[in-house]
Structure 1
Amino acid sequence: MGFYSRTDFNRKVISLIGAFLIHFVIGTTYTTSNLSIYIASYLREKGSSVTLQELNILFPLQIAIATSSTLIGTMLTTKYSQYLTVCIGNGLVILSVLITSFLTEPIIVILVFGVMYGIGCGLSYTTPLMISWSHFPNHKGRISGIIISGFGFGTTAFNLISTHIINPDNQKPSHKHDGTKYFSDNVSSRLPNTLRILALCYFVISLIGILLLGKMIKPKGQNDLQGSPLDECPSLKSGLKTKAFSTLFLLGFISNMPGLYVASAYKSYGSSEINDDDFLALTGALGSVFNGSFRYVWAQLMDKSSFKIIISILLMFQLCFMGSLYFISQFKVIFLIWICGIYACEGGLATLFPSVIVKCFGKVTGTKIFGVYYYSVALSAISGFVIQLFIVEYFGYLTMFLVMAGLSLMSIFVVYFVFVEENPWKIENRYVLDDIN
């Protein structure tokens, strides 16, 4: 692993490619929304009474566990080894997919494909970012966009691959139970082999990504009394006590819920309006393209502007998409465009928050604070699942989408009237140096 001892530009770019590939694999979290109906159909064919609504917990559980494990991954990278952290993280993702291919008990599937997968994803998430931030310290937003775009593009490829292997003839779900349609055995029986193929693909891509990763570069020219950069928050504890952190935590919780909910439920909802498995798989795949590519676009815009301006624009788009989704869903092309738009907004949030946290708290402490912030996304994912269990059953999808639109509007209010975009440590440390001089 000592191949990259020098820090020339070409090797930094190669390392960036490795970081992208790591996220390409762990980003397959979003394929779970596409796979859930096949998993439910397969388990029911094996004698289980589990429903698709119950298995819809898989995606939010993966997100919740992944976000909860991010801080652990950051600490492992800081205290031990970046390579060990990524090997463990991606290894757990690969093993969870492989093991699931042999399971027939729903609760075990949830524990392995939900919890184990989520832990692996969380452990590997921040390490590639930390490495590339140290290589390109003046382009954190752009670098975040490039790496995290892999998180979206991974789903694009494997949504299409998995659907083609499981349902090559685009058969429609034919078994109906409590208003939900499931696939017959001639489709769902292909699930185990599909998962094993995916696990092999994940292994190869992960191996290449890990081999390409460079070493983290320690910052030079540290010039305050403690040897830390001027813009560095002195400790994790100090950062967590600030108004900036509590505001970002709240904002992350309410702004991420609409996109995470749609990412988990677009196929379940779409199946009731558009009974076309290939089209819905394509919708998820193209949505992931927008998720991945717009992460870079939002990051570029933030580098040229500010978090406050860019996230306000993003949230206004999200508000419009969520508020009108129910009314356009009968039109296939417009439904696809709207889902892609929501995915683009969700991907933008995943890029903007790490960048602004590093800006407000510094690269070293900011990375740790980002791990704590990520618990807001975990709470958001699980809360969205719990809320939809009640609202969709008793009030329907229209009410659910309007609630999500309301959260987007509330997020805009927080951005405009509560959040202050500044680095208090940079100002404070400059005052200390001025007093010394």
Structure 2
Amino acid sequence: MDAAPPVCGWRAWGAVLGGVLIHLTLGNLYSFGNLTTYMTSYLHEEVSRDVTYSDVVWVMALTLMAQGLFMPIGGILEARLGPRLTCCIGAVIMSLGVGLTRLTINCSVFAVAMTYGLLVGLGISLAYVSPMACAMKWYPERKGLINGLIVAGFGLGALGSTSLQTHYLNPDNISVAPSGYFEDPALLARVPSVFTVMAAVFAALQTLGCLLLSRPDVSLVRTTHTSNEEEEELLDGQCDQRSSGASHGIREDSENLTPRQMLRTRLFYHLWLIYLINTIAIGYINATYKSFGQTFLKDDFFLATVGALAAIFNASGRLFWGRLMDATTFKTSMCCLTCSLCVLFSTLPLTPLTSHPSAAYAAAVWCVFFTFCGTFVLMPTVTEKAFGARHYTTNYGLLFTTQVLSGVLVASLNQLLLHAIGYTGCFLTVAFFSAFCLLVTLFLPRGL
């Protein structure tokens, strides 16, 4: 087993900090629920009266689909080009997609989906995994915590993005009109330019983050393994034996499964199903929490503040779930997570009926964000634990393909069911998915 490389130098801390800065920008994804109210209002008022909130959810769906499709490519690029260059490519594409939305917002929902959906999703997919893979090489004995720290940046990203969007676009705290859309001309006039401002901020943070990324020098890492070439030959020679012997369980410490070997195990598909179900819940609350709040709360600053502070819960929750997995197991942690999501989504529709709906709504949203974020700590960590570190980025990218299907399911759920059964029915449907995910998790192999 590889011994831990020296971690007391600035390069080790720099790699973690660089990963956090990059993920802070990628975490703009979680501000979509806030931005969609302004984006949809602009499209509805200035482009086409036929545009509704359910149409714009497809922008978010395409972002998720692009992440799922291109995440494996990010792993391949990281192995060939290194984490720094891979992250640079992803960062440029993401910031470009955000900036170009200044133009596409005047065209159509489809055009916005191509820039703020497809390009942003592609950029996130290329830059997402590399910082975690890089930092885990510096801290091999604290992988759960390190992953938690970095993806905490992803969760915290919406704090800045949501605050920036709201105070830039709606400084006077104008409420939506009875139609459910913003109609103030001054507010709507600022919508295109907000994408330029966000792109500039993201580009600055991404540049600094990419410069800080580095991997430990090979000469500093003490190892008892054979050479890489000998290990690859050994892995290839034992492919069939490993695929059959470890199809239900976890790899031995000496094993590093290639993507092809991993795809031959039943464990991969078991984890893939869990990831898929969880991302349905995540995608739905992220896209609709503010539009749901607008049905009974008319204070836009309050709703934006709830979304901004949700980022803190999103970030701190990632640290909590990372430490919980380090202290227990993936199976135990995931059971706690899915059970909590089931309860929270079941009770979320009750918040307007309480004596203090504002406080109940805020608490419910914050608890959901604190809980669901654990998925993005537990899944990458269990991928490395179950299938090895050598092909981690590509293997995790294959697991992340769940986003392709979950993005479609989230948008379809919102568009087909929202008008038929309302938010209450949709939230209860998501709660059912979480209950099913708990059942699936219980059948994971022992020791995982």
Instruction: Measure, in 2, the Cα distance between the counterparts of 1:379 and 1:254.
Output: 10
- Other-structure match for 1:243: 266
- Other-structure match for 1:40: 40
- Go from structure 1 to structure 2 and tell me whether the alpha carbon gap of 1:175 and 1:272 turns closer, same or farther (over 3 Å shift): closer
Contact 1:45–1:185 under 8 Å retained in 2: no
What is the deviation of 1:11?
A: 1.8
Deviation string 1:381-436 (CA, Å, 9 cap, x unpaired) is 321221222221212221111111111111111111x211557xxxxxxxxxxxxx
Amino acid at match of 2:320: V
Instruction: Measure, in 2, the Cα distance between the counterparts of 1:120 and 1:201.
Output: 16
Does 2:308 match 1:285?
A: yes
Counterpart secondary structure, 1:332: helix
Amino acid at match of 2:266: K
- Other-structure match for 2:197: 197
Say which structure, 1 or 2, has more relative contact order (CA 8 Å, 6+ apart): 2
- Other-structure match for 1:315: 338
- Which shows bigger deviation, 200-209 or 215-224? 215-224
What is the deviation of 1:175?
A: 6.2
- Amino-acid identity (%): 26
Deviation string 1:240-267 (CA, Å, 9 cap, x unpaired) is 1111111000111112211220111111
What is the deviation of 1:343?
A: 0.9
- Go from structure 1 to structure 2 and tell me whether the alpha carbon gap of 1:366 and 1:80 turns closer, same or farther (over 3 Å shift): closer
Amino acid at match of 1:386: S
Amino acid at match of 1:408: S
- Which shows bigger deviation, 134-143 or 212-221? 212-221
- Go from structure 1 to structure 2 and tell me whether the alpha carbon gap of 1:388 and 1:42 turns closer, same or farther (over 3 Å shift): closer
Which of the residues 408, 419, 431 maps onto 1:393?
Answer: 419
| Deviation >6 Å, runs of 4+ | none
RMSD: 2.0
- Go from structure 1 to structure 2 and tell me whether the alpha carbon gap of 1:383 and 1:232 turns closer, same or farther (over 3 Å shift): same
Instruction: Measure, in 1, the Cα distance between the counterparts of 2:178 and 2:96.
Output: 31
- Which shows bigger deviation, 141-150 or 218-227? 218-227
- TM-score, L = length of structure 2: 0.88
Instruction: Measure, in 2, the Cα distance between the counterparts of 1:113 and 1:411.
Output: 30
Instruction: Measure, in 2, the Cα distance between the counterparts of 1:36 and 1:234.
Output: 41
- TM-score, L = length of structure 1: 0.90
Amino acid at match of 2:445: V
Contact 2:418–2:426 under 8 Å retained in 1: yes
Amino acid at match of 1:13: W
- Go from structure 1 to structure 2 and tell me whether the alpha carbon gap of 1:238 and 1:217 turns closer, same or farther (over 3 Å shift): farther
Which of the residues 405, 411, 419 maps onto 2:444?
Answer: 419
Instruction: Measure, in 2, the Cα distance between the counterparts of 1:7 and 1:143.
Output: 12
Q: List alignment gaps of at least 5 residues for structure 1.
A: 424-437
Counterpart secondary structure, 2:181: strand
Contact 1:32–1:58 under 8 Å retained in 2: no
- Other-structure match for 2:83: 82
Amino acid at match of 1:343: F
- Other-structure match for 2:249: none
Instruction: Measure, in 2, the Cα distance between the counterparts of 1:296 and 1:101.
Output: 35
- Other-structure match for 2:247: none
Amino acid at match of 1:297: F
Deviation string 1:26-80 (CA, Å, 9 cap, x unpaired) is 1111122211121122233333232222012122221221232211111001012
- Other-structure match for 2:386: 360
- Other-structure match for 1:429: none
Deviation string 1:368-387 (CA, Å, 9 cap, x unpaired) is 22101101133223212212
- Go from structure 1 to structure 2 and tell me whether the alpha carbon gap of 1:421 and 1:132 turns closer, same or farther (over 3 Å shift): farther
Does 2:375 match 1:349?
A: yes
Counterpart secondary structure, 1:138: coil
- The 5-angstrom pairing of residues 165-184 of structure 1 reads 165-174=168-177, 176=179, 180-184=180-184
Counterpart secondary structure, 1:172: coil
Contact 2:76–2:393 under 8 Å retained in 1: no
Which of the residues 383, 390, 405 maps onto 1:379?
Answer: 405
- Other-structure match for 2:209: 209
Does 2:121 match 1:118?
A: yes
- Go from structure 1 to structure 2 and tell me whether the alpha carbon gap of 1:310 and 1:334 turns closer, same or farther (over 3 Å shift): same
Counterpart secondary structure, 1:170: coil
- Go from structure 1 to structure 2 and tell me whether the alpha carbon gap of 1:149 and 1:189 turns closer, same or farther (over 3 Å shift): same
Instruction: Measure, in 1, the Cα distance between the counterparts of 2:191 and 2:332.
Output: 45
Which of the residues 259, 262, 266 maps onto 2:289?
Answer: 266
What is the deviation of 1:217?
A: 5.1
Contact 2:321–2:377 under 8 Å retained in 1: yes
Contact 1:223–1:230 under 8 Å retained in 2: no
What is the deviation of 1:211?
A: 1.2
Instruction: Measure, in 1, the Cα distance between the counterparts of 2:421 and 2:284.
Output: 16
- Go from structure 1 to structure 2 and tell me whether the alpha carbon gap of 1:420 and 1:210 turns closer, same or farther (over 3 Å shift): same
- Go from structure 1 to structure 2 and tell me whether the alpha carbon gap of 1:249 and 1:266 turns closer, same or farther (over 3 Å shift): same
What is the deviation of 1:130?
A: 1.0
What is the deviation of 1:164?
A: 0.4
- Go from structure 1 to structure 2 and tell me whether the alpha carbon gap of 1:232 and 1:55 turns closer, same or farther (over 3 Å shift): same
Amino acid at match of 2:323: Q
- Other-structure match for 1:430: none
Counterpart secondary structure, 1:86: helix
Instruction: Measure, in 2, the Cα distance between the counterparts of 1:70 and 1:329.
Output: 39
